[in-house]
Chains A and B, each alone.
Chain A
Amino acid sequence: MGKEYKTITDIAGPLVFLEKTEPVAYGELVTITLPDGTTRRGQVLDTAKDFVVVQVFEGTRGLDKSCSVRFTGDVVKLNCSKDMLGRILSGSGDPIDGGPKIVPEERREIIGAAINPYARQYPREFIQTGISAIDGMNTLVRGQKLPIFSGSGLPHNDIALQIARQAKVRGTEEEFAIVFAAMGITYEEAHQFMKEFERTGALERAVVFLNLASDPAIERLITPRMALTAAEFLAYEYDYHILVILTDMTNYCEALREISAAREEVPGRRGYPGYMYTDLATIYERAGRIRGRKGTITQMPILTMPGDDITHPIPDLTGYITEGQIVLSRELHAKGIYPPIDVLPSLSRLMKEGIGKGMTREDHKEWNDQMYAAYAEGVDLRGLVAIVGEEALSERDRRYLKFADEFERRFVNQGKYEDRDIEYTLDLGWELLAILPEEELTKIRREYIEKYHPKYRKKKAEGEAEKAEAAA
């Protein structure tokens, strides 16, 4: 138990300044007691011999200079236990579902140490999400961090839920769990998640951290770290394969900016602190696999791009850290396409090792290149059509246009509860590629064209039928 001080000199935004303390450790956990007896928690941001700066997670509303401040001598920790599964916790890790306290098996620091790159194992296990635009075009693998770049009003929550519901590694029956961290989302959104988790029974194998829009903004700085600490505990102690959903990272970054402004730091781009890249990295880089350990952590952060601008610092810095991104498009959404995934700016950096023979199917890589090139060409041609009209196009160009339309309507578009397996996705892609003249399929080797192109498959099927007849 540390000493109590009543030496607050200043309070500014979420920060409290104190003087005349004993040496206080950097990062130490702080409890502040208000005159009415309620307590708030905070963390030391800056410490010197004659002053200390504390950021208060639950906000400084109602604080005054008479509050007493106690330094706990401990850094912020999370009570970890396997019993976390099925529980709903606040943004700072306290149960809010009316259930009992969590009896800790272990108290873990929420600031995780960096994984030694030498200890990592490269992710290459294909996760089937059942969504064609992801499985076929931007494949997710275990241990990857793949964010969804969305915009306000787009159905990113539905997509996240669908992935949480359908995601599986084929051919394995391993322990799988979800860690869900909500930062500053509305009650309604949170309710949608909770209801869905309960309905599908997923809640039993989920740990939920909720910081709602009405909760203190500063708490959002620790919520994702709490969630990842829980994920690491379950993955590395109990061999769970964890999918971590973090939503909405934009709110997290706003909180970071708020703290930075309150400390009067030199701002970087658009007022966000210069260290935002490093700070985000300490969250995202906690995904991965470690050699010799069974559990894995796959991350799916969701962020809404302010003004749908992918060059805004939040998506921009995120994209530089994560292994790709799934980008949602307002235009596709307006066309009524679900999930409105715009595959052109989307990317999965780890897919090349997770697809192909033995993982998905041998033709997947080349199929992927061809699908991308064809769709990009079709989308480009739409610009031309707007100027010269469709009649002026050559037959070849018209086929590309048709491909692009069908790609959106049949391939990208699917039901919220439609779980497509990878073979279905690939075959559907082949059906679309058959729209194009065969000589345009330059990115796929002959052997695969003859094996998977519907034209040859049909012939083969007919040939076999004839053979069967002849035999009969």
Chain B
Amino acid sequence: MKESLMEILCDPLDKSDLELEVEERDGEEIVEGRLIGTTTGEVYPIEDGIPNLLPPDMRDEE
């Protein structure tokens, strides 16, 4: 995902801001990392450039 996507993303649980932690970057693209809910503390992984912002109770279904 591109960092500019942060402008439109929020924590799916309470719509609060997310904090971005980058582990691997390829140019403008964030390939690996995580998004963390600033009030919930929930961790949403970014894997292969795709942020997984499913709420935690839906995330384990597959």
Chain A bound to chain B = no
Q: What residues of chain B have their CB less than 8 Å away from a CB belonging to chain A? A: none
